[in-house]
């Protein structure tokens, strides 16, 4: 518990979490407000309310999580941390737990604030959360952010430089996995096993009564939507384990 408290204090002693939190809220809730205000009253759907939270706000959370690690390497405060806590794994795991928890809470706030904003601006729209898929689509944002934070921290530990870690995460999430889909024949098959594509699949709503939960955005996923979340989490944890091993073997 002491390590968790120390990591919480260290995290909030810098400005980046505050700026990133504010930016994520603006992008997530603000984009929903713009869409709701420009859509005819009564025409909004549950899926539209989370457009900003599942894309742009997630990118900001990934950056915030990476900064929690790379900032320490940049200013060499990680050396003091490792001197105080010789067990590097314990220190880095504590940091991961704190950042993932904060990211998860932030995700829930953004998701339900976006939903509430949509209801406020479009009261005639049917935005009641009644079914399991609808609850997963909204409440699942926090789970997605928490897992994404673990993955971002792992990248931060491996790369150690802010610019490099941020570039990798943003290109990976927002560009690379989408571009793979244009590879003839094999692209869509590869996408079915990419981490962020599975993350999107987890949040996706069925497009029709007979659509099921396996096909999203033209990709034939082999896992259920909860299975996709587990797969995404497995990749994040595996990458974190690799990062912890590397951190133990190299100089701070």
10-residue mean pLDDT profile of the chain (252 residues): values are 85 90 94 90 87 89 95 89 88 95 97 94 90 94 97 96 95 92 88 94 73 57 94 97 92 68
Structure tokens that stand for 85 in this block: 């806590």
> How far apart (Å, rounded) are the C-alpha atoms in residues 152 and 63?
7
Burial of 128 from C-beta contacts in 10 A (0-12 / 13-18 / 19+): exposed
The CA distance from 209 to 213, in Å, is 10
Inside any domain, residue 100: yes
In a domain, 48, yes or no: yes
Does residue 14 fall inside a structural domain?
Answer: yes
Return phi, psi of residue 4, to 5°: -65, -40
Domain membership of residue 186 (yes or no) is no
**pLDDT of the residue at 141:** 96
Q: Can you give the residue range of the structural domain that contains 157?
A: 2-181
Cα–Cα distance for residue pair 19/50, rounded to 1 Å: 21
Is the residue at 153 inside a domain?
A: yes
Which pLDDT score, from 0 to 100, does residue 214 have? 41
As a whole number of angstroms, the distance between CA 177 and CA 199 comes to 12
Separation CA 194–CA 108 (nearest Å): 24
Q: Which two tokens stand for residue 18?
A: 């505050």
Number of domains in the chain: 1
**For position 215, what pLDDT does the model report?**
46
Domain-located, residue 202: no
Q: What's the pLDDT at 193?
A: 94
Confidence (pLDDT) at 216? 59
Cα 25 from Cα 43, distance rounded (Å): 24
Task: Let me know if residue 96 belongs to a domain.
Answer: yes
Q: Do 158 and 92 contact (CB within 8 A), yes or no?
A: no
Following DSSP, what letter does each residue of the chain receive, concatenated?
A: -HHHHHHHHHHTTSSHHHHHHHHHHHHHHHHHHHHHHHSPTT---HHHHTTTTTTHHHHHHHHHHHHHHHHHHHTTHHHHHHHH-S-HHHHHHHHHHHHHHHHHHHHHHHHHHHHHHHHHH-TTS-----SHHHHHHHHHHHHHHHHHHHHHHHHHHHH--HHHHHHHHHHIIIIIHHHHTTSTTHHHHHHTT-HHHHHHHHHPPPSSTTTTTTEETTEE-SS-HHHHHHHHHHHHHHHHHHHHHHHHHS--
Phi then psi dihedrals of residue 40, to 5 deg: -60, 135
């Amino acid at each position: 518990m002491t390590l968790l408290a120390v990591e919480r204090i260290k995290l909030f002693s810098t400005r980046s979490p505050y700026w990133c939190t504010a930016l994520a809220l603006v992008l997530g809730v603000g984009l929903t407000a713009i869409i709701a205000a420009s859509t005819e009253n009564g025409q909004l759907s549950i899926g539209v309310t989370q457009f900003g939270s599942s894309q742009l706000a997630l990118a900001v959370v990934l950056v915030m999580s990476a900064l929690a690690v790379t900032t320490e390497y940049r200013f060499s405060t990680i050396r003091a941390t490792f001197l105080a806590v010789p067990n590097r794994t314990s220190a880095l795991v504590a940091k991961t737990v704190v950042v993932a928890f904060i990211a998860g809470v932030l995700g829930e706030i953004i998701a339900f604030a976006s939903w509430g904003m949509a209801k406020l601006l479009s009261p005639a729209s049917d935005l009641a959360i009644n079914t399991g898929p609808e609850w997963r689509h909204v409440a699942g944002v926090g789970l997605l952010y928490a897992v994404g934070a673990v993955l971002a921290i792992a990248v931060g530990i491996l790369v150690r430089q802010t610019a490099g870690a941020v570039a990798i995460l943003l290109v990976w999430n927002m560009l690379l996995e989408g571009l793979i889909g244009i590879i003839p024949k094999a692209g869509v098959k590869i996408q079915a096993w990419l981490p962020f594509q599975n993350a999107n699949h987890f949040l996706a709503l069925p497009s029709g009564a007979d659509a099921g939960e396996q096909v999203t955005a033209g990709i034939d996923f082999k896992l259920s939507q909860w299975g996709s979340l587990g797969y995404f989490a497995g990749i994040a944890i595996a990458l974190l384990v690799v990062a912890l091993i590397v951190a133990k073997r190299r100089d701070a």
